[in-house]
Chain A
Amino acid sequence: MSPLLLILALAPPLAMVWFFQSFKPAPPEKPGLLAILFISGLLSGLPALFLNHMVEKYTALWAGAPEIQHRLLFWMLGIGWNEELAKLLPLLALLYFRKDFTTPYQGLLGGITVALGFSAVENIFYLDRFGTVTLLVRSILTVPAHAFFTAPLGLCLAYSKNAAGAGAKYGWLLGGLLVSMVFHGTYDIWLSFEYGWINRLAYLQVLLMGLFTLLLMRIARQAPIDRQTGAGIAP
């Protein structure tokens, strides 16, 4: 792959990281941390690929399954769960235990950055396979979609960090993962239909998820910050 194509594949996700970073309340996130999260998002494509492969190979769930319920479950519990879990793993490893990870917007930004890294590796893969035309569609639809799938997960990660008690922390983590899984699975289900107008529901969903993410950004920006400690506070 030529360097120009690589830049084309990476540019939309990186632009979106810059967009979400620019809305972060001061202080700005450390560029090094963002870079590490983005790269870990790129690498999280590997576990996702492995998990998807295992599910397709060793269960009755796959995209071409004759039974409708198996197809639906594949998109939801297979692709949706696997890919969001793959994004969560670097967040847990690199962000969750950091002492300076305190505010909800940090979680939101972290989640989105990893997701955009993930979508970047998909971009590279699809660009190599289907050419530059797909990049346009993916930049409009899939790259933002990945960011929006994982935004709730990132926010929940922050709330989990600030929650009191292991049970509440666990609840936030699992809840965030489930919400992201449902977003991702539903999106894939729309795209699995044959008819164009059903496919268009995926566009609608991305639009709605975009609005929802704006709402989450607003919540994260306005979330109560403990002025004594500078830490974010769980709702």
Chain B
Amino acid sequence: MHNDHTPLEDKSPEEGDSSSEAPSSGPREAARKVSQESSPEGSQEGILRASRHYRRGNRFFASGMGDKALHEWKHAASIWRSAEAAKHPLRKGMGNLMAVLGLLITVVVFYNLLFTMFPRQDDDQMLLMGGESRSWWERFLDTGRDQQENWQRLGIREWWDQLRRSWKEDSSHHAGRREMGLPTVEKRWEDLLRRYGNWGPQFNYSMDYNLVSGYGLSRMGEYQRSVAIFEKGLLSTDKPEKRADLFQGLANTHYYFGYNLQEDGLAKYDLEMVRKASQAYEESIKIRPVPLSFGNLGWMHYLLGNYEQAIDYSLKALRMNDRLDYVRLNIGLVHLVQNNITESFRYYSAVISRNPPQEVYLGGITDLRELIRDNPGRHPFSYLMLGLLAAKDGQYDLAEDSLTRFVTSPNIGQRWRVMAMRILDQMTTTELER
């Protein structure tokens, strides 16, 4: 259709040469022209100019100058688009605004999808909980992730292996062991790594498979195999950090091997296993003295009847971390067993005044119930402490029963008896109000 025109067609003096349109004389002039172009009158002018460029392109084309023709047509199209948009100046501004609003909506949708499609796993999310004593800002900053310096950057081989495994699992999604409900060995490793690799205070990505599998086996109740794996791991590494992790894993496994939960919710302990656990913990703290290990050692020495060591280790744990309320309960328990009632009461009261989470009370109550079970009638003050914790925890029946037993016990002293009766009275009032 362009051949329908000739170079002479529509020619007028002012458009005979493309240079007849003087270039913009400067930014002010350009701005003025932009403003002019933005007006409806300017848009009419723009359309006229576009048609002139279009016809000029036709003439170049007819003369065999294809490149110049193309340039003119492009220019014409551009001017035409601008002029069309300028017909409605308000709409032009609205177009920018709508584009930006559209983008912002896209951004919101994007984040919505990102946060719903890749939620943090529940067990991982638990790392964010607790630490209520920290400031709001500290809790906000805490991602529950490891520090950047400790990330183990994956090598290309690990990346490739993971990718291959991922493809393989996708392709055999409904086949083989998975269909039978049995995880593949790789899947099991992956699960173990996910479950234990980023869990707990000893979070460390440089941990090895011995540690991961040791914890995995321990969790599955295969304690002997778990112990064997941890011991093998200890033989295979000289790195102090890894040895500390492995000793800690070994200690936990021994402890749980000797921990037998009874039907009444209380535990019985194999003291030989507790002794092995304490030995492993002692090795661990030589390398990495962390408050948790000291606290656990304190508890194990209490179970073993080494009360002085139990208090020593527990006090060390508290000096390192003042927030360990379960350690305070352990110290109170040790003093109770040693008949240091005032000291014991001081520690129990300290815990209650700190208003810890419910699980702390539950742990303390369980320990006291175990003490009463193993030593019937020997520690009457354990009923007082039990009553205190149960009342604070809202277990009024248990509290009332314990305190009643306490006030009816012989040889407890008038001061303690009066105090227990006062608590009983207060509790009854509270119960009535409730």
Show the binding face of A for B, using Cβ within 8 Å.
27, 53, 55-64, 66-71, 73, 77, 81, 85, 92, 96-97, 99-100, 102, 160-162, 164-166, 169-170, 173-174, 177, 192-195, 198, 224-231, 233-234
Contacts and interface: CB of A to CB of B under 8 A. Distances in A.
Q: Which of A57, A177, A198 has the most CB of B within 10 A?
A: A57
B143 to A, nearest CB: 4
Contacts of B27: 27, 100, 230
Contacts of A77: 114
Nearest to B128: A57
Nearest to A176: B103
A27 B28 CA distance: 10
B74 A224 contact: yes
A72 B205 CA distance: 18
B236 interface: no
B121 interface: yes
Interface on chain B toward A: helix, strand, loop, or mixed SS? helix
Contacts of A195: 155-156
A203 B81 CA distance: 41
A56 B146 contact: no
Contacts of B82: 162, 164, 226, 229, 231, 233
Interface residues of B, number: 66
Given A63-B151, A177-B103, 11 more contacts: A56-B145, A59-B120, A62-B145, A64-B151, A71-B154, A166-B95, A173-B103, A174-B103, A192-B154, A195-B156, A233-B82
B36 A229 contact: yes
A71 B35 CA distance: 50
A43 B288 CA distance: 41
Nearest to B84: A164
Contact of B121 (A60, A63, A165): A60
B7 to A, nearest CB: 22
A162 B96 CA distance: 9
Chain A CB within 10 Å, residue with most, of B29, B30, B34, B120 = B30
Contacts of A64: 145-146, 151-152, 198, 205
11 contacts: A59-B114, A59-B119, A60-B120, A64-B151, A66-B198, A100-B31, A166-B96, A194-B153, A225-B24, A229-B36, A230-B33
Contacts of B154: 68, 71, 192-194
Interface in B16-30: 21-24, 26-27, 29-30
B96 A198 contact: no
A77 B145 CA distance: 19
Contact of B75 (A53, A67, A224): A224
Nearest to A85: B107
Interface in B101-129: 102-103, 106-107, 110, 114-115, 118-121, 124, 128
B258 interface: no
A208 to B, nearest CB: 21
Contacts of A174: 103, 106
A166 B102 contact: yes
Contacts of A27: 26-27
Interface string B197-212: 1100000010000000
B127 to A, nearest CB: 10
Contacts of B75: 224, 233
Contacts of A198: 156
Contacts of A61: 114, 118
B21 A231 contact: no
Given A59-B120, A229-B36, A68 B159 contact: yes
B409 to A, nearest CB: 52
A59 to B, nearest CB: 5
B172 interface: no
Interface in B25-76: 26-27, 29-31, 33-37, 45-46, 49, 74-75
Interface in B262-313: none
Given A73-B118, A194-B156, A227 B98 contact: no
B115 A231 contact: no
Contacts of B358: none
Contacts of A71: 154
A188 B239 CA distance: 31
Given A56-B145, A58-B115, A160-B99, A228 B33 contact: yes
